[in-house]
Amino acid sequence: MDITRSSPAPLRVVAVPPEPEPADLTALSKPAELAALSQPAHDRPVTAAAPTAVPEEHRRSRPRDLLALVRPGQWVKNLAVVPLALLDTHPWGAADLLRTGWAILGFTLASAVVYVVNDLADRERDRLHPVKRHRPIASGRVSPASATVLTGLLALSLTGWAVAGPAWQWWPTALYLALSLAYSQGLKHVPLVDAFIVATGFVLRLLQGALLIGGRLSEWLALCVFSLCLMLSLGKRRHEMTAAGRAHRPALRGYTLAFLDHLVVLVAVLTAVSYVLYLRDDAALATGASFVILLSAPCAVFGLARYLQLLLVEEGGGNPVHVLFRDRATLVNAGLWAVLVALALLTHPSG
């Protein structure tokens, strides 16, 4: 036997995958689809699946979705701004607190109307936003018909609020509603005008509280509220530019990041200066409270600096309410500031 000759190698059976069936080109109606199919697999563009629209007849608006539509998380804005009118009214009485609550109710109803109308007008644009596409109307959980009915009910409630309250003292709420509806219908697409209208709405909240309690509204306090809210509005637009680009909000085409950075810092300085001038000239302070108020000024400056840090360093600021009321450092600082201001207002003001 010749051992130098190698035995033949065993046969190996290899399964050959079947050839893929040719695509049915007649099922592709668009030339773009034909061109994409003719490209190699690794060169074909990857497109995200479009959100599935819920048929109108299958939409059933649940109470939870209707409540989310009026954004109860944003009502804290009314709770934070309207009662500031009490700072210029001292001492406080039960009637003042009740009138303040009445003003908060009116602005809560008015802002709810604005939120629903705005979401109805922006539902197509909101579907392109990574966060706003989850809103009740944009996601299809609430139909436009249900949202329209809800708007009518809120408008009737707001009319009842105006009729039941003091005569002609509801005009700041009416002006806020008119400005906000004009904002929803087109002014929100005008750079700078959009942010200034939002800030003006907060001054009208403050003015409504002052009218109903019969107090005097300090010009420095109004300027402080306006500049603070303008800073938050500009900060929100800056965050939107960094997070989602400019496509979903046409007004963003009139801004750049550098321009917004300059504006935010400028308005922050105006906020700090107007706050100090309010404390010096108009605040109803207790006798000997100047040292306590002096301690509150660093708290105000720290709050502004912390917001700028969250906005410019940590790229936050998309939701100012979340930033201001969920940030631990901001909450501790706000608590200390509130204690100092309360100590300064405890007794009757001097002369």
Token duo for residue 126: 């909101």
| β-pair partners for 286 | 349
Which residue reads 């005009």 in tokens? 171
C-beta separation of 295 from 258 below 8 A: no
Note the Cα 244 to chain centre separation in Å.
Answer: 15
Token duo for residue 257: 């990041």
User: Class of 63-217 per CATH?
Assistant: mainly alpha
- Extents of the domains making up the chain: 63-217, 218-351
Which residue reads 């596409």 in tokens? 133
Which ranges of 186-289 does DSSP label H, i.e. alpha helix?
A: 193-213, 219-244, 257-281
Peptide bond into 91 cis (omega under 30): yes
Token duo for residue 347: 């007794």
Three-state secondary structure of 268-282:
HHHHHHHHHHHHHHC
What angle separates helix 193-213 from helix 171-185, to the nearest 10 degrees? 160
What does the longest C-alpha to C-alpha distance in the chain come to? 128
Of 115, 107, 184, 180, residue with least CA distance to 147: 115
Token duo for residue 71: 């954004």
Token duo for residue 205: 């909240």
pLDDT by residue for the chain (351 residues), tens only, comes to 444 444 444 444 444 444 444 444 444 444 444 344 444 444 444 344 444 444 444 455 688 889 989 998 888 888 877 777 777 666 677 888 888 899 999 999 999 999 999 898 888 888 877 778 888 998 889 899 999 999 999 999 999 999 998 878 899 999 999 999 899 888 989 999 999 999 999 999 999 988 888 878 889 999 999 999 999 999 999 988 887 777 777 888 999 999 999 999 999 999 999 998 888 887 766 555 667 777 788 999 999 999 999 999 988 777 777 777 788 999 999 999 888 877 776 654 444
Q: Which amino acid is at 43?
A: D
C-beta separation of 166 from 148 below 8 A: no
Q: Which amino acid is at 224?
A: C
